[in-house]
Amino acid sequence: MDHMSGPYLVRGSVSLPEAELMWRFSRSSGPGGQHVNTSDSQVELRFDLANTEALPEVWKRRALERLAGRLVDGVVTVRASEHRSQWRNRETAAVRLAALLAEATAPPPKPRKPTRIPRGINERRLREKKQRSDTKRGRSGRDWG
């Protein structure tokens, strides 16, 4: 595979601006060969959500609200260290960040509009309930002289 695949789409035509992604690399904990202590394969990707120009204002407000719990000074951080190669971890981190932002900026679901039950259907339901209760009353057997 070649280097980093193009811009990471958040949703629609909005993508993560490469320039605003802050990368940090450090040694991964966990398994690896002799190579493990020398390669900085853990990736930390930071994105300044509060000051970005890349997201539409509405999305930004939404994301800041929804991700409030995991923001530090308006910066969202994603870590990836499951792969042994740094660039695969970079891919993973970027994809994760894009997914996180996609979810956080999604429009709220439309409120449910209650629909009326047609009268005929409701009456039929009540009729059937009555019948059922008569049937069950008849089973108690207390009138069997």
CA pair distance 128, 90, nearest whole angstrom: 62
Predicted local distance difference test score (pLDDT) of residue 35: 62
Query: What confidence tens digit (pLDDT) does each residue in 106-126 have?
Result: 788 889 898 998 999 999 999
Torsion sign, CA atoms 134, 135, 139, 141: positive
Q: How far apart are CA 101 and CA 9, in angstroms?
A: 10
State if pTM tops 0.75.
no
What is the Cα–Cα distance from 8 to 1, expressed in whole angstroms? Answer: 17
Q: What is the pLDDT of residue 39?
A: 67
- What percentage of the chain exceeds 70 in pLDDT? 83
Looking at residue 33, its pLDDT comes to: 61
Rounded-to-integer distance, Cα 96 and Cα 79, Å: 9
